[in-house]
Amino acid sequence: MTKGKYFPRRYFMVIGTFLLALLLYIDRVCISVAKDPISESLGLSDKQMGWVLAAFSLGYALFQTPSGMLADKLGPRKVLSVIVTIWSAFTALTGLAWNFISLLIVRFLFGAGEAGAFPGISRAIFSWIPLQERGIVTGINFSGSRLGAAFALPLVAWMIDYFGWSTSFMILGGVGIVWASVWYFMFRDNPEDHSGISVAEKQYILDNRQQKETDDVVNKIDIKELLKSKNMWLAMGQYFCSNFTFFFALTWLFPHIKTEYNLNTLEAGFYTSIPLIFGAFGNWTAGWLSDRIYKNGNWNKSRILPASIGFLLAGIGLLGSIYMDSAVGAIAFLSIAIFGADMTLPPSWAFCVDIGKENAGTVSGTMNMAGNVGAFLTALAFPYLQSWTNSTTPFFVIGAILNVLAIFLWSKMKPQKHFSTY
């Protein structure tokens, strides 16, 4: 770490990406809190709302790889500024939806707009963050998303009660425009291009970034090469499993807890914010553990061990929640599940930067695409399985099985191997 009287400039970048993740999930989770008033206003069933929630994940998944490629090509400064503006516009337009089809279209386009956020952040991390700080920085960024969701649950519940659901979406859309403007004027794609960075810090970053290899590694992305990569497919598979668990917290946890335990809107908001706060702690824990293990000289273990522990906890939490008779008990076990699921994020995204390097945006976007196929299925699986079986148990059992599968997938992953070589 650099020394001197100035706060390191790269940490300002981390503050910016943390706030972006915070905003990302405030905008994303508000649809879950607004489910009941939207359903009542537009006359939608639970299955139709499932499709509305899934439409976001589909748009988000489909545009991950293209958005990551844009971040690699054009740089995260321009790409993040544009996509935040786009998704903020569709956040506001959600409040103007007048029927099922219009809401479905707006949420799909909202998801497409958000798709480049984390791939863009990954590309910025490659340029600005030394390898030995990569785990904790990724953990900080993803903790912002969890804190944003946790903060949004009671806040948006209050906003909807006070302003109505339509106006609430419009207010939230305006906040994103402010972030996009500040990011464009304050950030630069590379530390070499930033006039505010000290010479010492710039040299520290350049000396400690992941070293380029000179032999058989491709610098320009080749999608065919990427899709031949075992590392890439393993990363996609385990992230599918992770998102199947976590996306439940963003979509059906609030209405599930509210209905199952007969809570009012504000009570449900406070209860369901707790697992998301635990998710933030999961990100910090895994990020710290990943960097600690890396500094002790074991690169592979620094990614594989935190992720495996996380998936084990997620499976235990999902199964334990089935047997709880009270909201407190269910939230306790679901907090363990989300803590565990979020422990998998810092090693997953650090892994993508490891194997992607200059193509970190494309690689992380491709992984996130697969993850959001899992999210898409979660949004539909919960209401449909409940309708078919008259029980929520099958959903939680399937989630636990996927978590066990992910541990096996991680055992085969190799962070030190570029995607073009393994």
Of 346 and 7, the structure prediction assigns the larger pLDDT to: 346
Give the pLDDT confidence score for residue 210 in this predicted structure.
61
Q: Tally Cβ neighbours within 10 Å of residue 227.
A: 12
| pLDDT tier, 402 (very low <50, low <70, confident <90, very high otherwise) | very high
Give the pLDDT confidence score for residue 6 in this predicted structure.
62
Please report, for the chain, the start and end positions of each structural domain, with discontinuous segments joined by +.
Answer: 9-208+222-410
- Asked whether residue 19 carries a pLDDT value surpassing 50, the answer given is yes
Mean pLDDT, range 316-344, rounded to an integer: 90
**Nearest to 310, CA basis, from 345, 347, 343:** 343
117-147: string of b/e by CB count within 10 Å (b at 16+)? bbbbbbbbbbbbbbbebbbbbbbbbbbbbbb
Give the pLDDT confidence score for residue 318 in this predicted structure.
92
Mean pLDDT, range 115-126, rounded to an integer: 82
- CATH fold of 9-208+222-410 reads Growth Hormone; Chain: A; (1.20.1250)
Give the pLDDT confidence score for residue 222 in this predicted structure.
67
**Residue pLDDT, tens place only, 246-275:** 878 777 888 788 888 888 777 787 888 888
Mean pLDDT, range 8-32, rounded to an integer: 81
- Asked whether residue 21 carries a pLDDT value surpassing 60, the answer given is yes
Task: Please report, to the nearest 10 degrees, the dihedral formed by the alpha carbons of residues 233, 238, 243, 244 taken in order.
Answer: 110
Give the pLDDT confidence score for residue 218 in this predicted structure.
46
Q: What is the pLDDT of the chain when averaged over all its residues?
A: 82
Mean pLDDT, range 6-22, rounded to an integer: 82
Q: Indicate the pTM of the whole model.
A: 0.69
**Residue pLDDT, tens place only, 71-103:** 888 888 888 889 889 888 888 888 888 888 988
pLDDT above 70 covers a percentage of the chain that reads 95
Mean pLDDT, range 381-402, rounded to an integer: 86
Give the pLDDT confidence score for residue 353 in this predicted structure.
81
**Residue pLDDT, tens place only, 213-235:** 444 444 566 677 777 888 889 99
What does the longest C-alpha to C-alpha distance in the chain come to? Answer: 64
Mean pLDDT, range 30-49, rounded to an integer: 80
Give the pLDDT confidence score for residue 115 in this predicted structure.
82
Give the pLDDT confidence score for residue 131 in this predicted structure.
75
Give the pLDDT confidence score for residue 119 in this predicted structure.
79
- Asked whether residue 3 carries a pLDDT value surpassing 60, the answer given is no
| pLDDT tier, 211 (very low <50, low <70, confident <90, very high otherwise) | low
Of 340 and 94, the structure prediction assigns the larger pLDDT to: 340
| pLDDT tier, 403 (very low <50, low <70, confident <90, very high otherwise) | very high
Mean pLDDT, range 383-388, rounded to an integer: 83
**Residue pLDDT, tens place only, 300-315:** 888 889 999 999 999 9
